[in-house]
Amino acid sequence: MPCNYKAVILVFCLSGLLLGAGCINTGSSPAPVSAPIQTPSPEDLMQHIRAEYPAPGMLYDVNGTRMHIRCQGEGSPAVIMEAGSGDCSLSWALVQQNVSKFTRVCTYDRQGYGWSDPGPGPVTARNVTGSLHTLLSMANITPPYVLVGHSLGGVYMRYYAHRYPDEVRGMVLVDPGSEWQMARTGENFTREMKAAVAVRASLLRQMGWESAKGTFARNLSLVEKYSDPRLPSWEYHAFRALWATEPWFWYSCATEGERAFQVWDEVSRENITTLINIPLVVISSGQEMGFSADPAGNTYANEVFRTLQKEMATESPQGMYLIAHNSSHYIQLDEPELVTGSIRTVVDDVRSGR
């Protein structure tokens, strides 16, 4: 799904209309002539923040690009987790901690996200899944896998299973997006979504520009709201540090949002209606998504969204559909125990051969 709406609030805070209202403290009391204050450069500030929050996992060279993967726990099958658009590996922190108690679990950052460098090629499902396939091999994380995907990450994981069926033994999709959302909701909805994504992408690139200038490194409170307080303390502050010091994070979020329409077209051409016969759990959020400004149109878009998720659960004979009634789109943060329990069920089924 497109990136978080909180970026818009931050951009407004950066605009000239609000600078004078105290959103950014750019001034200070004049220093005495005899004792000038030496302020660190923006790059020095960013380097200091990066040093405080280094990559928690390992970095591997994937086709000339460093990619970050973080694994915890022991056991097989390995659980591989894919974040949604605008998120990185940190968004899985609560669930990863829980799953690590009963099997090996790995989260990673797509190219341009988190601690992974930007990639050379365009954002496509083939490039994303191909890079992940290479990364898992280089990190010596051997199949079988249980794949877990959130939002757009769910589209990528279904494509991965379609492309590498011999490696996948189970799947959990957390409020997954669908490659058929635009086609099923119609041209008017598609135009509205594309217009909204274009505006948001422009704002996100402005945020990346401010990050590159050191604006956020000088005042971390500006990205305070962009890090989720439901995360554990280290991950919360690391997320904030990434937004403040990595301009490519913002740019990648904008680019992937724009490219999502091409990704959906690409995956829809594969016509994935049947996956291999594996344990599969699809979890829908109980709260409506903000797809459209029109209430009636939004209700209809949400109905289509849920219908598509129910259909995903039928892609395997062992599919199961659940609703997280108390959750927003981020079920892994609102109800991490539900996601953890679903993963454990699938892992147990794989181990028992059911």
C-alpha–C-alpha distance, residues 156 and 78, integer Å: 17
Helix (H), strand (E) counts: the chain? 14, 8
CA pair distance 259, 126, nearest whole angstrom: 13
pLDDT of residue 104: 98
pLDDT of residue 15: 29
Helix axes 187-213 and 295-313, enclosed angle (nearest 10): 90
Amino acid, res. 72 = Q
Look at residue 120 in the predicted model and tell me its pLDDT: 86
What is the β-pairing status of strands 78-82 and 105-108? parallel
Outline where the chain has alpha helix (H): 6-14, 16-19, 42-52, 93-99, 125-138, 152-163, 181-185, 187-213, 215-218, 233-245, 247-268, 295-313, 331-334, 336-352
Cα–Cα nearest to 215, from 45, 53, 30, 50: 45
- Report the distance separating Cα 309 and Cα 79, nearest Å: 21
Residue 308: strand, helix, or coil? helix
State the alpha helices, DSSP H only, in 214-276. 215-218, 233-245, 247-268
Rg of the chain taking only CA atoms, in angstroms: 21
Residue-level pLDDT at 38: 62
The pTM of the full predicted model, rounded to 2 decimals, is 0.88
Q: What is the pLDDT of residue 37?
A: 57
Judge contact between 178 and 261, C-beta under 8 A: no
The tokens describing 151, both together, are 């939002």
Q: Average pLDDT by consecutive 10-residue portion of the chain (354 residues)?
A: 38 29 35 57 90 97 96 98 96 98 98 95 95 98 98 98 97 98 93 95 96 95 91 96 96 96 97 92 95 90 96 96 96 98 98 86
